[in-house]
A and B are shown apart, each in its own frame.
Chain A
Amino acid sequence: AQKVTQAQTEISVVEKEDVTLDCVYETRDTTYYLFWYKQPPSGELVFLIRRNSFDEQNEISGRYSWNFQKSTSSFNFTITASQVVDSAVYFCALSDTGGGNKLTFGTGTQLKVEL
């Protein structure tokens, strides 16, 4: 069975601090995909990144970076030099071949960036 755990319910940082959001997943499949979404107060889930299980290279996109480690079943997300506009709920999600085109979401991490 698929499972995604985001142990951090809420994180508060001061602007310009770096922050890492943790994501741990469980799957029996060798082929799977991991996602991060951002949900600002407006409610829409905004797609950030998709990684497949065969690509363990870390990825950087501007102030965002992702660390995928199969050995620990983790897919952590770091925001460098956080800004107030980064305040949102961030969701990690998993899709594997057994689940077809279904996503299993974590419970989300509420990030608050203050001035």
Chain B
Amino acid sequence: ETGVTQTPRHLVMGMTNKKSLKCEQHLGHNAMYWYKQSAKKPLELMFVYNFKEQTENNSVPSRFSPECPNSSHLFLHLHTLQPEDSALYLCASSQVNRPPYTDTQYFGPGTRLTVL
């Protein structure tokens, strides 16, 4: 595997289900990100992890719960979602060494989530 991988690629779930999205990066990076992409909306940053520590939570509802067990893996745990949460969820990674921390982010293929 190379780059950033995400599983599953497609997910359909009911509002009462619990599911998890998985992201894995094979680039040796130390920062990982979750983004949400809804139809006709800009990409929204959800969470940022630097060196496995969460450094950003962009006012995301608690029904989305991230987990970063190590610098290569990132999960997004989902529970009691709403239909408006249907979107493409993208994971990204980058190398963060020093200020200004603006190394390029590399993205995975995304998980297309549909909430019924």
A residues lining the B interface (CB < 8 Å)? 31-33, 35, 37, 42-47, 50, 91, 95-97, 100-103, 105-108
Contact = CB atoms under 8 A, between A and B. Distances in A.
A97 B99 contact: yes
B103 to A, nearest CB: 7
5 contacts: A44-B110, A101-B105, A102-B48, A105-B43, A108-B42
Contacts of A42: 109
A101 B94 contact: yes
Given A101-B31, A101-B50, A105-B43, A43 B102 contact: no
B104 A97 contact: no
A101 B101 contact: yes
A53 to B, nearest CB: 10
Interface of B: 31, 41-43, 45, 48, 50, 55-56, 88, 90, 92, 94, 96, 99-110, 112
Contact of A101 (B41, B43, B88, B96): B96
A106 B42 contact: yes
A11 to B, nearest CB: 17
A105 B107 contact: no
B104 A47 contact: yes
A100 B109 contact: no
Nearest to A94: B102
Contacts of A108: 42
Pairs of residues from A and B, 3 with the lowest C-beta to C-beta distance, nearest first: A45-B107, A101-B101, A97-B100
Given A42-B109, A97-B100, 4 more contacts: A44-B108, A101-B31, A101-B101, A102-B56
B108 A101 contact: no
Contact of B45 (A45, A46, A97, A103): A103
Given A45-B90, A101-B31, A31 B110 contact: no
A50 B104 contact: yes
Contacts of A103: 43, 45, 105
